[in-house]
Amino acid sequence: MVLFLQPDSKMPTGEDIDKYISAELPDKDLEPYLYEVVGDSMIHGPCGPANKANVCMIDGKCSKFFPKPFSAVTKVDAGFPIYKRREDGRMVHKKGFDCDNIYVVPYNKDLSLRYRAHINVEWCNQTRSIKYLFKYITKVPDYVNASVGRDDGNDDIVDEIKKHYSCRYVSACEGTWRTLAFPTHYRTTPVEKLSFHLPGQQLDVYNEDDPVEEILNRISVGKSKFVAWMEANKIYPEAKNLTYADFPSYFVWHLKTRMWKPRRRGFAIGRITYVPPSLGEVYYLRVLLNIVKGPTSFEEIKTVYGIIHEKFKDACYALGLLDDDREYIEAIKEASLWSSRKYLRRLFSVILLSKSVTTPENVWNATWEILSEDILYNQRKKKKNPRKIHLIPKLFLIIYLLA
């Protein structure tokens, strides 16, 4: 069991840990019952030089790192703390050996007295310290391989019910799930995939031998789901207050008639098809579709404050949806505080190749001094012409254009 404490209840110091966890043998005269429980249940091994044949020994060393070193106080380490194990002379006889505090498994006094069992209590502050617990919590169910065949002497009779009961297998995870009456069947949230396209670029699927006239006259060519959405905005006044992603929550797409109609029951979540920034105008159209409400045409999507822009990218700039790539500039400047210039140039190349930068020239103009800071030194060191240095920054822009 893993307990995550509130910040006010954490144990940041060794003195706080000593209040709840002990790794020492108790006084036999003052706490005889606790001494008996600890000596019987909380002693590891013994192993190491005292017993090299113990099951925990691997390659001559204890896999649990016993015996532990003596320590006058409890010290907080990166993972498990170094518990207080004083060399006070207390011993307990275990498997023919006298064991002192270096063999005691950390325990809680109240839990040991109450249950009189092996209960290991640890204080930890990193995930790796509790990995041995988490790997069992997240362990996948066990499985079994089985083959089903006909019973001898009954070639014509197959009792499927009997075979089911004989061959069924329920793992511990599945059994617990049913014992606690958790749901085993459910429906996922309905999601409406919303496609879109540039003007005159509707998607259509056809066979290689289909006549061209038939393809062009198909209703799917002239009325895609995206075009039908703009047509519905002309018909229904309530649609003027909805974006493309919000539309399926109030309207239903009918494939046969290729029309959007008001929803009478149920619900759905709209998800606009993802496109990468490298596709240009299609990407900027998608950005606008998350903002513009109720457009009736492509021109209306590109209209900002009464001005019809030529490109969707220009409309995004007019709305302030595209910033000046400050996040990339700040990332390079922040990395310059701790990384080498070679790493910075590699980072800049990765940013360009990702094609997520709107204006790479702005990023270069703001960071070129940082990126080329050591080039002059390297050129002089190699006794080459420093005047050629100004050509090196051009390579980064060439990489971007070629990509």
* pLDDT tens profile 57-75: 988 889 888 889 899 999 8
Residue 242: C-alpha distances to residues 191, 247, 254, 282 (Å): 17, 6, 19, 21
User: Rounded CA gap, 26 and 325, in Å?
Assistant: 65
The answer to whether the CB of 28 falls within 8 A of the CB of 90 is yes
Which position has the token pair 């505090």?
A: 101
Amino acid at 334: E
Q: What is the pLDDT of residues 250-296, one digit of tens each?
A: 999 998 888 999 999 888 999 998 887 778 889 889 889 988 999 99
The answer to whether the CB of 249 falls within 8 A of the CB of 268 is yes
Cβ neighbours of 316 (radius 10 Å): 21
User: Rounded CA gap, 296 and 239, in Å?
Assistant: 10
The answer to whether the CB of 315 falls within 8 A of the CB of 298 is no
User: Any residues with CB less than 8 A from the CB of 63 and at least 6 apart, and which?
Assistant: 56, 57
Q: Which residues pair with 71 in a beta bridge?
A: 85
Q: How many residues can be counted in the chain?
A: 403
Residue 84: C-alpha distances to residues 19, 41, 223 (Å): 12, 19, 77
Residue 76: C-alpha distances to residues 68, 127, 227, 381 (Å): 15, 15, 65, 49
**Entry pTM:** 0.45
pLDDT at 124: 78
pLDDT by position in tens, the chain (length 403): 778 888 788 877 888 899 999 999 999 999 999 999 999 999 998 888 878 888 899 888 898 888 898 999 998 765 568 899 999 999 999 888 899 999 999 999 999 999 999 999 988 766 655 666 666 655 555 556 666 566 555 556 677 777 777 777 777 778 888 899 888 777 778 889 999 999 888 777 777 877 877 776 665 556 788 999 999 999 999 999 999 999 999 999 998 888 999 999 888 999 998 887 778 889 889 889 988 999 999 999 999 988 999 999 888 888 877 766 777 887 788 788 777 878 888 888 888 887 777 778 888 888 888 888 877 666 555 554 544 444 455 555 555 555 4
Peptide bond connecting 67 to the previous residue in cis, omega within 30 degrees of 0:
yes
Q: Residue 85 has what DSSP assignment?
A: B
Measured torsion, CA atoms of residues 344, 349, 354, 355, in degrees rounded to the nearest 10 = 120
pLDDT at 389: 46
pLDDT at 383: 52
3-state secondary structure of 307: strand
367-397: burial string, b at 16+ Cβ within 10 Å, e else: beebbbeebeeebeeeeeeeeeeeeebeebe
pLDDT at 373: 80
The answer to whether the CB of 104 falls within 8 A of the CB of 42 is yes
Q: Which residues pair with 57 in a beta bridge?
A: 62
Residue 199: C-alpha distances to residues 285, 312, 403 (Å): 11, 11, 27
Amino acid at 252: V
3-state secondary structure of 58: strand
The answer to whether the CB of 101 falls within 8 A of the CB of 24 is yes
User: Rounded CA gap, 338 and 332, in Å?
Assistant: 11
pLDDT at 386: 47
**Terminus-to-terminus CA distance in the chain, angstroms?**
52
